[in-house]
Amino acid sequence: MLPSLEDVRIEATPVYIHKIDRQTHWNPAEKISLEDRVQRVVKEIFKTPDHTYSFWLVETLSDFYHVAASINALRRSPSDEIPSIWVKPAELSQIGLQANRTEEGKCLYAKNCITILRSLLTTPRNYASC
Amino acid sequence: MSNNVVDVQSIPMGRESSSSLVVFLQVPSTFLGSASTAKVAGLSTTLNPVIVEYFREPELRPVLRKKASLGIRTKESVFSVLDWSIRADVDEAFDAAVDLLSECGNCLVDGLVYLYLEYPLKSTTQFDLEKKLDVLINGLARSQQLSAEKRLTAISELMSSKSRIVKAAIIDALAMIVNSRNKKRVEGMLKRYASSSEADIYIQNYAKEVLEDLA
């Protein structure tokens, strides 16, 4: 049975999904200061030399399936799990990032990853959702 | 669940396939670095050009994967793939390396044992070493060339690791390797991580989730 948005802990739409390599990249250590965590997450997740990143818009359950299929399209096993983070559009605008829909080759330019992460990581989190 | 701004989860994939809804697409990376030689734990190894092309051309990976894997027969060649896996300038380097290694067999076990027990720390940082172990454990767990029992035995060698990255990789691997014959053994390994003797609460809960899924 295909999962619902609730099954993958997405509370409400629309959201932007950003794929990460491993869940431990977002949760790198048990006892770690916010600043250290920000640095580790930047090093692991927001690391491309040109500071551009893919965020996939999910407005409906169908969008979600399309995104998941697209992310895994080139994988050896298309059923591989996809660790990801999700961000609400309002949260992007709060930190001054403008979302622009593109067809190909252009991405969100996020030069100051530390600003983004500090904002995201200081928000209360439910452990079970990680 | 409440006020989370950002959530992390795994998306269990369905079988449905469809065209993508793309909001932002990643700019193809500028691929840098030498295609000729790489240093592997003090050894120089010649990089197979097919492996180089595999990492440089993300869209060609599905067609190059099998061919590239034929060049991976020794632990040194495994390490050259691991070097690619942690490069920031390679698109989806982690997934690409895991998929490539999953086409391989015994050299993964040789590489894993060497990397965990004998790799000279002077030639890398502890952090990079753990990231490479993560990739290698994931690749080995998916290997179809190795029996489930062989994969399980190799991974059990790493159970003493104190690293969260390695522990989480082992838990994921156990979830992939489990079958009706080894279920008791896998559950026993998971219970070690899920017990109160595991100091890392994140790992404890992670293992509990997998155990619940297996029940």
Find chain A residues with C-beta within 8 A of B23's C-beta. Answer: 16, 55-57, 99, 101-102
In the prediction, which pLDDT does B80 show?
94
Out of A9, A30, A54, whose CB is closest to B25? A54
Q: Which of B2, B3, B7 to mutate to test the interface with A (most CBs of A within 10 A)?
A: B7
The answer, yes or no, to whether residue A121 has pLDDT greater than 60, is no
Phi, psi of A6 (to 5 degrees): -65, -40
- Tokens (6 digits) for B180: 């009706």
Q: Can you spell out the DSSP letters for A28-79?
A: --SS--HHHHHHHHHHHTS--TT-EE--EEE-SHHHHHHHHHHHTTTSSSTT
Distance CA B37, CA B45 (A): 6
- Answer whether A50 sits within 8 Å of B14, measured CB to CB: no
Per-residue confidence (pLDDT) for residue A128, from 0 to 100: 27
CB contact under 8 A, B21 and A23: no
Residue listed under structure tokens 């790198």: A28
In terms of CA atoms, which chain B residue is nearest residue A78? B13
Q: Which ipTM score applies to this complex?
A: 0.77
Q: Is the pLDDT of residue B7 over 60?
A: no
Q: Is A52 on the interface with B (CB under 8 A)?
A: yes
Mean model confidence pLDDT for chain A: 75
Q: How far is B202 from chain A (nearest CA, A)?
A: 7
DSSP β-bridge partners for residue B9:
A84
The answer to whether residue A37 neighbours chain B at the CB level (below 8 Å) is no
Tell me the C-alpha distance between B120 and B38, whole Å.
16
Mean pLDDT confidence for B84-91: 92
Chain A to chain B Cβ contacts (< 8 Å) = 205
